[in-house]
Amino acid sequence: MEILDLRHFTSSDLRPLLDDEVRVWADLLCWDYTSSAEMILRYMDAKFLPGYAAVSRGKVFGYSFFVYESSKGVIGDLFVRSGDNGTNREEVERRLLTHVIETLQQSPGIHRIEAQLLAHEAGEASQPFIAQGFSRHARLFMVLPLTIQIDAKLIAADIELRRWTDQDYQPSAGVITAAYRNHVDSLINDQYRTLSGSLRFLNNIVRFPGCGTFDPEASFVAVNRRSHALVGAILCSRVRYDTGHVTQICVLPEHRGLGLGKALLAATVQNLSQRKFSALSLTVTEANTPAVDLYARLGFETKRVFDAFVWEG
Ligand SMILES: CC(C)(COP(=O)(O)OP(=O)(O)OC[C@H]1O[C@@H](n2cnc3c(N)ncnc32)[C@H](O)[C@@H]1OP(=O)(O)O)[C@@H](O)C(=O)NCCC(=O)NCCS
């Protein structure tokens, strides 16, 4: 078994492995990974994807890639086919991650590395991160079956909900930045710390298929009726033909505890149910107890616990 630079390979070398990954994401997370896989393969052919491949007898059976975002490296994926060639999956994952982490740490100008391994159970691939001094944050993957409805009459009198539009980018970025100030999630994702970072986050969610396909019909903003100022938002993507995923929900600190979070979730749930979706998923940091408790009270169940890792050099 060898670990080689991913850029030695083409999409046809990687396609069988990604077909397997698509099956794993469907089984574990009810997530159709096809459009993400196609994007990865396009980047492969453009020789644009930095990362490493695990190769045995000329065949790629594992890979991990990363992207550079100014002074940050983000580990995009890690996948190793189980039971291939008698190799130990954990050992191959450890070697791939060690190569990726070392490459990023030695890249000039890179001061921060982030990774979220959604398809790995917490602790499963943590060893190379811990060894390199990353901090680790447990995150929950939660799912609400859409047989459950949310009763939300609590909405404050001066606030109304309306559908997301393209005019909401800038004000939503402002709400995100304010909502995540001194919040555990801005330790995990530094984009939340600035307006420009929050705009980049929104742009990725709305315009790129990395986290499903943005679903504007099921995405809402909460606005003040008189000033029209945005005070909260929920963004939803479609991750399978019948499954929505909340990619963002936040409410300004001074408007919390009034039922707005619940009302935003209710609007998304109602819209998806009308369109015959069968489930709504989301991810949340375990330490974010107000959010975790809210989701649990509304009927979301924790299906998996996974890790987010952060390194600052
Ligand atoms: C999570 C979040 C969206 C919830 O929004 P919210 O408008 O406060 O939610 P709600 O008012 O509908 O529900 C919060 C619950 O906590 C209770 N609560 C009481 N006081 C509260 C307070 N000061 N702040 C927050 N919640 C409070 C509410 O009564 C409610 O309980 P209930 O459902 O039994 O009535 C909001 O806390 C937030 O924006 N947090 C920062 C960003 C974030 O963590 N997003 C989630 C990432 S996964």
Looking at residue 148, its pLDDT comes to 86
Q: Is the CB of 251 under 6 A from ligand 1?
A: yes
Spatial separation of the C-alpha atoms in residues 301 and 140, rounded to whole Å = 9
Instruction: Write the pLDDT tens digit of every residue in 261-293.
Output: 999 999 999 999 999 999 999 999 999 999 999
3-state secondary structure of 290: helix
Nearest CA owner, ligand 1 atom 33 = 294
Q: Which residue puts its alpha carbon closest to atom 9 of ligand 1? A: 261
**What's the gap in Å between 146 CA and the centre of ligand 1?**
21
DSSP for 100-126, please give it: HHHHHHHSTT--EEEEE-TTS-TTTT-
The reply to whether ligand 1 has any atom less than 6 angstroms from the CB of 258 is yes
What is the 295 CA–ligand 1 centroid distance (Å)?
Answer: 10
Closest Cα to atom 30 of ligand 1:
257
128 lines ligand 1 (CB under 6 A): no
Rounded Cα gap, residues 252 and 204, in angstroms? 22
Atom of ligand 1 nearest to the CA of 258: 11
**Number of the ligand 1 atom closest to the C-alpha atom of 262:** 12
Minimal-distance CA residue to ligand 1 atom 25: 257
| CATH number, span 143-306 | 3.40.630.30
Q: Is the CB of 287 under 6 A from ligand 1?
A: no
pLDDT digits (tens, 9 = 90+) for 164-202: 999 999 999 999 999 999 999 999 999 999 999 999 999
Taking alpha carbons only, the member of 41, 35, 90, 30 closest to residue 65 is 41
- Structural contact between residues 66 and 50, judged by C-beta atoms closer than 8 angstroms: yes
Cα of 255 vs centre of ligand 1, distance in Å, is: 9
Q: Which residues of the chain have pLDDT under 50?
A: none
- Full-prediction pTM beyond 0.85? yes
Give the residue range(s) of CATH 3.40.630.30 domains in the chain. 2-133, 143-306
For 2-133, CATH number out of 1.10.540.10, 3.90.850.10, 3.40.630.30, 3.40.50.150 equals 3.40.630.30
* Residue having the nearest C-alpha atom to atom 17 of ligand 1: 257
Cα separation, 127 vs 124, whole angstroms: 8
Tally helices (H) and strands (E) across the chain.
9, 13
Sign of CA dihedral 256, 248, 303, 114: negative
Tokens coding 26: 């469907």
Cα of first residue to Cα of last residue in the chain, in angstroms, is 31
Compute, in angstroms, the gap from residue 75 CA to the centroid of ligand 1.
31
Atom 18 of ligand 1 has which residue's CA nearest to it?
257
The reported pLDDT for the residue numbered 252 is 97
